[in-house]
Amino acid sequence: MKVDLFDYELPPELIAKHPARPRDAARLLDMTGPALADRTIRDLPSLLRPGDLLVVNDTRVIPSRLDGRRGAARIEATLHKRLGPGRWAAFARPAKRLRPGDRVDFNQGLGTESLGAEVISRDGGEVVLDFGLGDDALLARLGEVGRMPLPPYIKRGAEESHAEDRADYQTLFAARDGAVAAPTASLHFTPEILAALEERGVRRATVTLHVGAGTFLPVTVEDTEDHPMHSEWAEVNAETVQMIADTKARGGRVVAAGTTSLRVLETAARSGTLEPYSGETDLFITPGFDFRIVDLLLTNFHLPRSTLLMLVSALAGRERILDGYAHAIASGYRFFSYGDACLISRDPVQATA
């Protein structure tokens, strides 16, 4: 499909720079019925049914944005994919100043133990860095000197504290270190919402997808067939597979909290049957995709011409999604990672439109 079919105009003032406080005060556009309905996240339990299963992503965002120096040159690096113990692919700025064999010091002036990395290779704006540390030691050091890898459209001035983002850009379900971007739909959940869902009879299961910074890369080609999808590590365990089977057998619905949860589940079901899965996924979902597992999706509003906008269009139908986005813009909803959410359902007729 032509990428420009997934374009829309967004007023810059609707890009959320900070999350709603409290988290469950965010707005929720209900797109599951014949008409659009303006609600809040606190209405979510009433929109789900007893016997439904909410599937969340338990990845944990690591503070993977680093400021360093190679000699006198300032270098910013954002780790985005683990390649091995202590070795990561990273987006670097300015990458042209880096060559294989160079060493970058990432904690000058912080008064902490040295954290340095050797440049192993460079390809355009991407480098491979070897920190010479085990994974646990590296994660501990990143916790001391790294910053949260906020999306590029969220700017923080020097006078602004980054401490709040350490909490704001992490979900209640975060348990497994490895993501360099948050599964943002889950940022809306609070203990009160979880208690209300449990009281409603909605069960919860977990999957893991370590979200990579590639999720923010723009689609620069004209046709979706020409877009190289980034890969991310994902896992679905046997317990979650069984919970989904039980839910389906009882007539319940599978509700994915975020596009990451959806992509994991549909990856694990590509053979036609949902099975435990562990490995890389580069699943690129566009209209016409045959969904096998997910019935409803809770998700934020996505960037124009993005792979995630294509995914939600595949689930609910492109025209319905764009109509919903137009309504959200006219109604002043807040967009993107720290913004409001929508709840959409699978419609086999709409999804082919």
Question: Which amino acid, one-letter code, is at 105?
Answer: D
Which of 133, 117, 10, 124 has the alpha carbon at shortest distance from 68?
Answer: 117
In a 3-state reduction of DSSP, which class is residue 116?
strand
pTM comes to 0.93
pLDDT of residue 163: 79
CA 170 to CA 188: how far, in whole Å? 10
Average pLDDT of every residue of the chain: 93
pLDDT of residue 108: 64
Q: Is the pLDDT of residue 341 over 90?
A: yes
pLDDT of residue 353: 37
Q: Would you say 176 and 208 are in contact if contact means Cβ atoms under 8 Å apart?
A: yes
pLDDT of residue 206: 98
pLDDT digit string, tens, across residues 89-138: 999 999 998 999 999 999 766 656 779 999 999 999 999 999 999 999 99
pLDDT of residue 152: 86
Cα-based distances in Å from 244 to 216, 241, 252, 299:
30, 5, 9, 20
Range scoring the smallest mean pLDDT among 15-29, 214-228, 277-291: 214-228
Q: Is the pLDDT of residue 30 over 90?
A: yes
Q: In b/e form, how buried is each residue of 41-70, taking b as 16+ CB within 10 angstroms?
A: bbbbbebbeeebbbbbbbbbbbbbbbbbeb
Domains of the chain: 3-61+171-352 (3.40.1780.10), 65-146 (2.40.10.240)
Which of 300, 297, 261 has the alpha carbon at shortest distance from 281?
Answer: 261
CA 252 to CA 215: how far, in whole Å? 30
Question: Which amino acid, one-letter code, is at 86?
Answer: G
**Which of the 8 DSSP states describes residue 95?**
G
- What average pLDDT score do residues 220-238 get? 91
pLDDT digit string, tens, across residues 48-66: 999 999 999 999 999 999 9
Which of 287, 339, 331, 304 has the alpha carbon at shortest distance from 8?
Answer: 304
Q: Would you say 253 and 68 are in contact if contact means Cβ atoms under 8 Å apart?
A: no
Confidence of residue 340 (pLDDT cuts 50, 70, 90): very high
pLDDT digit string, tens, across residues 129-175: 999 999 999 999 999 899 999 998 998 865 555 778 999 999 999 99
pLDDT digit string, tens, across residues 175-214: 999 999 999 999 999 999 999 999 999 999 999 999 987 7
Range scoring the smallest mean pLDDT among 119-128, 184-193, 224-233, 288-297: 224-233
